[in-house]
Amino acid sequence: MKKYELLATDGRARRGRFTTPHGVIETPVFMNVGTVAAIKGAVSTMDLHDIHTQVELSNTYHLHVRPGDDVIKKMGGLHKFMNWDKPILTDSGGFQVFSLAGLRKIKEEGVHFNSHIDGRKIFMGPEESMQIQSNLASTIAMAFDECPPHPATREYMQNSVDRTTRWLRRCKAEMERLNALPDTINKEQMLFGIDQGGTFEDIRINHARAIRELDLDGYAIGGLAVGETHEQMYHILDVTVPELPQDKPIYLMGVGTPQNILEAVERGVDFFDCVYPARNGRHGHAYTNHGKMNLQNKKYELDDRPIEEGCNCPACRSYSRAYIRHLLKAKEMLGMRLCVLHNLYFYNTMMEEIRDAIDAGEFQAYKKRKLEGMEQK
């Protein structure tokens, strides 16, 4: 049943359908980030249905620290705990270990680091990450990897990538073991491996070739959007994506802006996630087809139009720019919530437009139109 079906291509852009134990994902897809099993900005899983969300993403490390993956397992798994009936992807905790750089120590068996909440010592390796994700019972588990810093020396990068490959084999073996246990909630949990290598083209390509041999459910490109230029990122996609299996979904981790997504779709990427729409929304910044708006701006004080004319999100259906500006200025949580809902809806519907454009063989024209619109001031 675990299956990626390629429905149409337009150049290198791919329109696919990925069947999972928790339903079908139409790709390309933008996953909505709910790090601690909630979308920041007071957005509930009930809201996610309204704004066309297909996949929710949660974080292994954060949920392990609080409330504890053992608690979530006792509550019947993440789907039941947060009341979400569609696919959930959990990232492995590798990126958090990277971002807690001052608190960590990487060894072959795994990483020793201190909790960002109470400072207690935590050890996480491939087996621990798989066990936590199995307790969470997400649809798709990500392999435990090191996200190397940018810039890193070639020697550091090669050693890191080699270890990530060894860790991936351990993740696969542990996932197979866990999926066979009688008390595992999701016995069909899927595993995606992660290509690393920074901006070293040959390390990226060789790593892609090594991990594609493991025949995983999907493949991610990690370690981008950590400080390299957009041009460097697009070049790495140009050389890496063709080396990954074309009959499996390809996921660009942590990227990005609407512009980044359009460029990556053009290069054959299927899955995306990013905190931008929610984070920007919480600061009153709204994405629209005519560029980004700062709704705290005085010019919206008497503006009775919705954030975007013709937008069918919960904010635009009911409220004016002037009212949302007032809420933001008054530090009312509703202002932040409405902006986050609008932004996630913008991203989710952009992915629908992308899928329609690839289906129609008009992706290039769509991309050009969308980019030109968003560059308006």
Residues tagged active-site: 91, 273
The DSSP string of 8-45 is EEETTEEEEEEEETTEEEEESEEEEE-TTSSBTTTB-H
Are residues 59 and 69 in contact, defined by beta-carbon separation less than 8 angstroms?
no
Cβ of 28: how many Cβ atoms within 10 Å? Answer: 27
Say how far apart CA 26 and CA 5 lie, in whole Å.
10
Say how far apart CA 255 and CA 272 lie, in whole Å.
6
**H helix runs in 257-307, sequence order:** 258-266, 276-282
Q: How far apart are the first and last CA of the chain?
A: 47
Looking up tokens 């791919």, which residue turns up? Answer: 14
Are residues 229 and 330 in contact, defined by beta-carbon separation less than 8 angstroms?
no
Say how far apart CA 30 and CA 116 lie, in whole Å.
28
- For the stretch 36-39, contacts whose Cβ atoms lie closer than 8 Å and that sit 24 or more positions apart, written own/partner, are 36/62, 36/63, 36/66, 37/63, 37/72, 37/78, 37/81, 37/82, 38/82, 39/278, 39/340, 39/344
